[in-house]
């Protein structure tokens, strides 16, 4: 006899969600996911775990977070890679990403934000104003960061809706910037100690560093298999793994990704593939793609190419480097966190040659035939830096396609035509 599905509505109601609006969101997600993911051929068996995660995206995981809170833990929401997850976990917190990848409640958002604000900001504000995100409502604290002026000013308004702490991220990487960033990490520690009622120690921080590094190692292992030709996994599935990494249980996620990586390594050994061996291999770089933003990958791979690497926050920026595990004292560990996080190459930094180096290095390592620059409209840092990326790619002899878009589906036809023309040019 099959078990009756769990009724999560009392939990959602206790979180203050707008249940009719939330029902509408949950009805749309399976359609988006099915269209993008469940018509793939020869998909790795291990991806069934992520199918389950998506089917329970506002159910089981949210219940786990509420149980964690009931047991005395905290839930901390973040929007960016620069927030050290290790400190959150060391102080008994569960870290959840709050960025959203769909248009929601824009009518409410545009009463307080300009219409020409980037989609990522409008989306997370829409999910909060529309009360459809159980993760946002479960948070004991939300941590923002000053990665762009739009987010920085939106946080002023978000502060009226949720308990908020904002980290000041320097915009350069000189010695005094590293001093400032270390002080911001120390200020975050003090705030999280106050919220959690716990003290940060060398012991609990070392354990958290190892745990989060293990998650990154698992993603490194999975993505290393994508260097093979033919590709053993689609770009969409690899993207999904990183998207889920932002809110899933860390030890469970690490175990499941290592399991999938093992399956992919076996596929590579026998040449098992998800795309033809002659399919154009692409790298995607630019702004992050939050669930359920799969539009661009879906267009690319349905046009016959395969995405084999990404230089994005929902990509290599998240997992490519580890926190140094050598320090044994708390000040040394804080220094290691400072160095790891400040060395992420976001477009908010100036100058930012490290990002150009990363794009070309990945393009060469993964033997790509072309680079797709994905930028959200009105995301000024990435849209301006696209020129520098294009010049670096041209110098390396790699063709590029620039896509400026948002979360709507209104430009799908136009983008499909441009992607197909780009692939034809590559094949010629």
pLDDT value of residue 3:
58
Is 407 inside any structural domain? yes
Is 96 inside any structural domain? yes
pLDDT value of residue 428:
86
Is 1 inside any structural domain? no
To the nearest whole percent, how much of the chain has pLDDT over 90?
Answer: 98
The Cα–Cα gap between 153 and 2 comes to: 50
The per-residue pLDDT for range 248-267, each reduced to its tens digit, is: 999 999 999 999 999 999 99
Tell me how far apart the 2 most distant CA atoms of the chain are, in Å: 64
Question: 364, 404, 398: which is closest to 384 by C-alpha?
Answer: 404
pLDDT value of residue 1:
39
The domain tally of the chain equals: 1
Is 3 inside any structural domain? no
CA 232 remoteness from chain centre? 22
Is 310 inside any structural domain? yes
pLDDT value of residue 4:
62
Please say whether the beta carbons of 323 and 340 come within 8 A. yes
Residue 37: is its pLDDT beyond 50? yes
The Cα–Cα gap between 397 and 407 comes to: 31
Under the banding of pLDDT at 50, 70 and 90, the label for residue 305 is very high
Q: Which residues pair with 404 in a beta bridge?
A: 375
Please say whether the beta carbons of 125 and 154 come within 8 A. yes
Residue-range definition of the domain harbouring residue 228: 9-427
Contacts with 223 (C-beta within 8 Å, 6 or more apart), sequence order: 238, 309, 316, 319
Is 127 inside any structural domain? yes
The per-residue pLDDT for range 48-95, each reduced to its tens digit, is: 999 999 999 999 999 999 999 999 999 999 999 999 999 999 999 999
């Amino acid at each position: 006899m099959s078990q009756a599905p769990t009724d999560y509505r009392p939990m959602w109601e206790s979180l203050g969600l707008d249940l009719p609006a939330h029902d509408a969101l949950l009805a749309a997600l399976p359609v988006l996911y099915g269209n993008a993911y469940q018509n793939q051929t020869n998909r790795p068996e291990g991806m069934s775990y992520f199918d389950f995660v998506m089917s329970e995206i506002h159910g089981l995981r949210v219940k786990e977070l509420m149980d964690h809170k009931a047991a005395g833990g905290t839930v901390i929401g973040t929007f960016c890679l620069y927030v050290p997850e290790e400190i959150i976990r060391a102080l008994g917190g569960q870290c959840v990403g709050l960025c959203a990848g769909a248009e929601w409640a824009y009518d409410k958002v545009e009463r307080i934000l300009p219409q020409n604000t980037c989609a990522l900001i409008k989306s997370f504000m829409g999910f909060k104003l529309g009360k459809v995100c159980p993760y946002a409502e479960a948070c004991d604290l939300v941590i923002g960061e000053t990665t762009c002026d739009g987010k920085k000013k939106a946080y002023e308004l978000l502060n009226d809706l949720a308990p908020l702490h904002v980290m000041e991220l320097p915009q350069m990487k000189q010695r005094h910037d590293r001093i400032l960033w270390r002080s911001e990490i120390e200020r975050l520690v003090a705030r999280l100690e106050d919220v959690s009622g716990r003290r940060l120690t060398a012991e609990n921080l070392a354990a958290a560093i190892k745990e989060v590094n293990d998650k990154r190692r698992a993603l490194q292992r999975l993505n290393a298999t994508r260097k093979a030709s033919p590709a053993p996994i689609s770009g969409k599935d690899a993207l999904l793994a990183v998207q889920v990494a932002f809110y899933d249980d860390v030890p469970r996620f690490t175990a499941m990704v290592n399991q999938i990586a093992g399956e992919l390594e076996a596929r590579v050994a026998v040449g098992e593939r998800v795309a033809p061996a002659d399919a154009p291999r692409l790298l995607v770089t630019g702004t992050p793609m939050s669930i359920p933003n799969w539009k661009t990958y879906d267009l690319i791979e349905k046009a016959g190419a395969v995405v084999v690497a990404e230089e994005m926050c929902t990509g290599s920026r998240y997992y490519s480097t580890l926190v140094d595990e050598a320090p044994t004292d708390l000040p040394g560990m804080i220094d290691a966190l400072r160095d790891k996080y400040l060395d992420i190459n976001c477009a908010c930094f100036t100058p930012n040659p490290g990002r150009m180096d990363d794009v070309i290095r990945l393009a060469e390592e993964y033997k790509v035939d072309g680079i797709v620059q994905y930028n959200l409209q009105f995301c000024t840092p990435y849209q301006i830096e696209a020129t520098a990326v294009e010049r670096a790619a041209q110098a390396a002899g790699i063709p590029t396609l620039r896509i400026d878009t948002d979360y709507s589906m209104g430009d799908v036809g136009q983008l499909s035509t441009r992607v197909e023309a780009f692939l034809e040019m590559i094949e010629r």
